[in-house]
Structures are given as structure tokens and as C-alpha cells.
Amino acid sequence: WPLTWGDDDALYGAYGDGRGFDPPVPQKLSMGLVRITGGPADFRGENIRSPTFEQTGDGPRGRKASGMLMAGGVLYAAVRNAGNSVLAASRDRGLSWTWADWKFAAGFGCPTFLNFGRNYAGARDEYVYLYSHDSDSAYEPADRMVLARAPKGDLLRREAWEFFAGFDSGGRPSWSRDAARRAAVFSSPGRCYRSGVSYAAPLRRYLWVQVLPGGDTRYAGGLAVFDAPEPWGPWTTACWAEKWDAGPGETASLPPRWMSPDGRTVHLVFSGDDAFCVRRATLTVAGP
């Protein structure tokens, strides 16, 4: 359930290997689109039908959205299982889609967008940021996470993208248009997998939710949350549960739409038990 905060104040998201919200779509889809209104305790979900977005095929045989973003009134999807991943854009809130004519073919097997506020309000700068574990497959863990960026409004053009390539001598992030020069933005040997990244504006912190690989995470597994002052870190551990008390699902994230005004109450959205799941969390903030 990757989600993003739309220009109409709704959440837009995608599901995989399912039939969406009730009333369900007639055919099980590998990738379908939804619109969600209301708050975390009283949300209402509706399915958006789009022939140019929907896909079929279970598991790795079908394309699936791993990231969603609305910026400048355009809805974007980062789609995995596409050898490696591909981007698509919609200018009518998901009814019709244009697909990029190129793919991320080195790493970026399960990309997800960094989400800010409504329609990308409050963004750090004029760039859009995209994270993934550094694997060609969405089903194989990696030793590190990688990061790419492109100017907002130019996401479907390959030449617009540049890759995080480490830090210069002054500690500033370096960027390269050569994907082979991509560097780790986060490292955890054998533990980097699917994730969701968002910005908690009241706290001025980036929150990165990572599902810990191992077994069928739909029903059991681990979950971690990391935080940082910048999109490239440094990342510190806010929460680590090697065995969470529920299945963390395929992916999980903390949508800014459902954060409290002070940023200390957040809501985790995850796909535990193959369902749309929401759990409230309270953040304890260090320092004054």
C-alpha cells in the first residue's frame, strides 16, 4: 500500500495481488489503484479503475507499485517487477497513465518515493527523491540502500535522474548521472529490503520505515524505523523490532497526511495479513 497525499487532500495508493476495497473489483489484480479519504480512524477507500495502470499476474509475474507520489498535480508511480523498475505518470488523478520509455536497470528493484505534504508541499527543494534497496529484484535483500533524484516535473526523462554518489570532502552529498557510481545512503548487510520514506515536518526529521527480510512478512517478521535530518542521513535507529507483534506486510510507511500537527503521533500503514492495516504510534522526541 504505497501512499501519497493528493492535491485534493485525499490519499492515493496502490495495492498488489488483490481486489482493492469493498466493493472489490471483479478480477484479482497484480496492480490496482485506490483513493482514500478521511482520517486514520474513519477512512473510506474506493477503487479507481484505470486500464492503462492495472496489471495482472501473481507475485513476481506481475508488475506492482512500490512507490506513489503526487507533485505539481501529477500522480506518479514507481513500479517494480518490470526488470528492474519503471515510472508512470497520471495528470487526471489516476484515470489514465503515461509510462516512461526507459527503466532503472541497475539496482532499484523496489523503489519508493520520499513523500512530503499535500501535493508535495513543504518539500526540501525542487527535487523528487527515490530510494530502493540495491538489488535488481524486489524479492532479494541487499547490503545497502541507494538514492536517486530528479527535478520535480521531469521524472519520466532518464537524463533528468542523478544518483547519490557519497559525500565530498566537505561532507556535502555528491550526485552522478552514472548509475554505476551510486553509493550507499544506508547500509545493513543482508537486511536492506522494502521500505517507505516520509518527512515529519513538525519534527524536521525524515522517517524511513523498513521491513526486515525473512520468511513471509505478510504474517510475521521484523520492522524498523530510522530517522535523519536530511534525505541522505545520517540515519539513526528510532525503532527496531526483530519480531514485531504483527506481520509488517510487503511494505510499510508513515503517511504525512495522517501525522498530528506536532508530528508526535503518526500512523503506520502496512499490508499485514494481506490487508490494509493502520496502527497508531507515538514518537518520543529526544532533546529540548
CA-CA distance, 132 to 253, in Å (whole number)? Answer: 14
- Residue 107 in contact with residue 134, Cβ under 8 Å? yes
Residue 148 corresponds to which cell in the numbers above? 536517486
SS3 of 118, please? helix
- For position 98, what pLDDT does the model report? 97
- For position 69, what pLDDT does the model report? 98
For residue 210, count other CB atoms closer than 10 A to its CB.
27
Instruction: Give 108-144 pLDDT, tens digit per residue.
Output: 999 999 999 999 999 999 999 999 999 999 999 999 9
Counting DSSP H helices and E strands in the chain, the numbers are: 0, 21
Q: Phi and psi dihedrals of 258, rounded to 5?
A: -110, 30
CA-CA distance, 194 to 28, in Å (whole number)? Answer: 23
Compute the mean pLDDT over every residue in the chain, rounded to the nearest whole number: 94
- For position 288, what pLDDT does the model report? 59
> What dotted CATH number matches 3-282?
2.115.10
Instruction: Give 22-58 pLDDT, tens digit per residue.
Output: 999 999 998 999 999 999 999 999 999 999 998 888 8
Does 64 have pLDDT greater than 90?
yes
Whole-model pTM? Answer: 0.95
Nearest of 125, 9, 14 to residue 73 by alpha carbon: 9
Q: Span 224-247, mean pLDDT?
A: 92
Q: Span 245-254, mean pLDDT?
A: 84
Domain limits of the chain?
Answer: 3-282
CA-CA distance, 274 to 213, in Å (whole number)? Answer: 16
Task: Check whether the bond before 23 is cis (ω within 30° of 0).
Answer: yes
Does 272 have pLDDT greater than 90?
no
Residue 145 corresponds to which cell in the numbers above? 540502500
Q: What does the radius of gyration of the chain's CA atoms come to, in whole angstroms?
A: 17
Q: Span 180-192, mean pLDDT?
A: 96
Q: Span 212-227, mean pLDDT?
A: 84
Task: Using pLDDT thresholds of 50, 70 and 90, give the confidence band for residue 60.
Answer: confident
Instruction: Give 67-120 pLDDT, tens digit per residue.
Output: 999 999 999 999 999 888 999 999 999 999 999 999 998 999 999 999 999 999
